[in-house]
Amino acid sequence: MTTSNYATERETTEGKVFTVTGGDWDQVVSGTDPINDERIVVNMGPQHPSTHGVLRLILELEGETVREARSVVGYLHTGIEKNLEYRNWVQGSTFVTRMDYLSPIFNETAYALAVEKLLGVTDEVTERATTIRVLMMELNRISSHLVWLATTGMELGAINMMLYGFREREYILDIFETITGLRMNHAYVRPGGVAQDVPDDAIRKIRDFLALMPKKLKEYENLLSGQPIWIERTTNVAVLDVTACLALGVTGPVLRSAGLAWDLRKTMPYCGYETYEFDVPTHTDGDVWGRYLVRLAEIRESLKLVEQALDRLKPGPVMVSDKKIAWPAQLAIGVDGMGNSLEHVAKIMGQSMESLIHHFKLVTEGFRVPPGQVYVGIESPRGELGVHAVSDGGTRPYRVHYREPSFINLQALPAMAEGGLIADVIAGGASLDPVMGGCDR
């Protein structure tokens, strides 16, 4: 005859009767129930649709409550930073643009600013080139936030938001294609300026987009902001206060949603941002809802910046005048893809032999950068994007390391997830807006 671990028992005419006396029932059960403390480990990923790339989350669950969360990165590793050491300084732009594939212009601009600082030509970059950089970055910030809004909406059940967000992003990618020849991975911002000027039809497209986008933002708010399910799934979910953000190095919209107006465009200006009129949106709750509001407000501020940049576009060169640095290009799209126009090639070939030799050496070997090291930080859609560039005086980087906000911000995921529900891991992880191409560079 077996005996119960829970209580004394006795046989009666009605069957077996258990008698529990004294103590707290929960304590009694927890002391003897073999499955009371049982937890399961769930691998979310490494190809889960809500992880914005190839990310693996190891979750230790007790029921639906997350007791421990660990992030595993590296599945999308490309070795871009190492590859930069085997290409000349200009060719590096083609590599770095592929890291955070949702904000390629920021990757390129941070790299170009670092190389220009090493060269000592920061002040020689033309006003038009700098204005074009601001114009392109702010358009890219809008397109990146639209992808975040679209994918987060899909993950939380707002399928329509997915469709609308990518629909409006197409306008910006069309503008990028008109200007650079490519929708993504542009290699457009280069040391010394930009690859080519902005054509007139691109200006018209940008003006049309500025008229369209404010109406679309109102539609998004009508769809989401008053929606009970959206509010329930985002309010007080994945809270990360300002102290935790600072302790973990979290920057960008996540930090600003916790109340700190830290934006490198204001606090450590570059590309002339100190001469533009714009605000730094903040929120105080530090939850998914706050990050949603901050990103919507940032899109509006970026629209203001794009309009100001358009008004500042004055005729002029888009590359430094130093022919030892300036990449000789006049791009055109031909039957074999994008490259130098035939007229420009004919001009190069028709000049002196010394000019042709110089062009050949600049394109193949590249220019030399004085030895030294610099750090340049800019405000990307995900936070502080920093470039630490080291030169040994050669034509190739000795070392280039990126401080990638996606990689840094992912540290916050366990702090946001542990103690919450597994469903909130999706909302919290999405609100960080990680892009694994940048994380695993």
pLDDT, tens only, 226-235: 889 999 999 9
pLDDT category of residue 4 using cuts at 50, 70 and 90: low
Predicted confidence at residue 221, as pLDDT, reads 92
Evaluate the CA torsion angle 214, 217, 223, 224 in order and state its sign.
negative
What's the burial of 179, exposed, middle or buried (CB within 10 Å: 0-12/13-18/19+)?
buried
What's the burial of 194, exposed, middle or buried (CB within 10 Å: 0-12/13-18/19+)?
buried
CA nearest to 190, candidates 316, 302, 331: 331
Using alpha carbons only, give the angle 156, 261, 255 rounded to the nearest 5 degrees.
Answer: 40
Q: Under a CB-based contact definition with an 8 Å cutoff, are residues 384 and 402 in contact?
A: no
Q: How far is CA 279 from CA 247, 288, 298, 401, in A?
A: 25, 21, 9, 30
Judge whether residue 328 has pLDDT over 80: no
pLDDT more than 90, % of the chain: 60
Q: What's the average model confidence in pLDDT over 328-337? A: 61
CA nearest to 213, candidates 245, 160, 170: 170
Q: Which residue in this structure is represented by tokens 């999308």?
A: 76
Predicted confidence at residue 346, as pLDDT, reads 73
Quote the DSSP letter at residue 265.
H
Q: How far is CA 37 from CA 31, 69, 335, 389, in A?
A: 10, 17, 67, 51
Q: Under a CB-based contact definition with an 8 Å cutoff, are residues 54 and 436 in contact?
A: yes
Q: 187 — alpha (psi -120 to 50), left (phi > 0) or beta? A: left
pTM attached to this predicted model = 0.87
Residues paired with 337 in a beta bridge: 334
Judge whether residue 267 has pLDDT over 90: yes
Report the amino acid identity of residue 92. Answer: G
pLDDT, tens only, 374-402: 999 999 999 999 999 999 999 999 999 99
Domain boundaries, given as residue ranges, for the chain: 1-36, 71-325+367-439
What's the burial of 359, exposed, middle or buried (CB within 10 Å: 0-12/13-18/19+)?
middle
Strand, helix or coil at 306?
helix
Q: Span 71-325+367-439: which CATH code?
A: 1.10.645.10
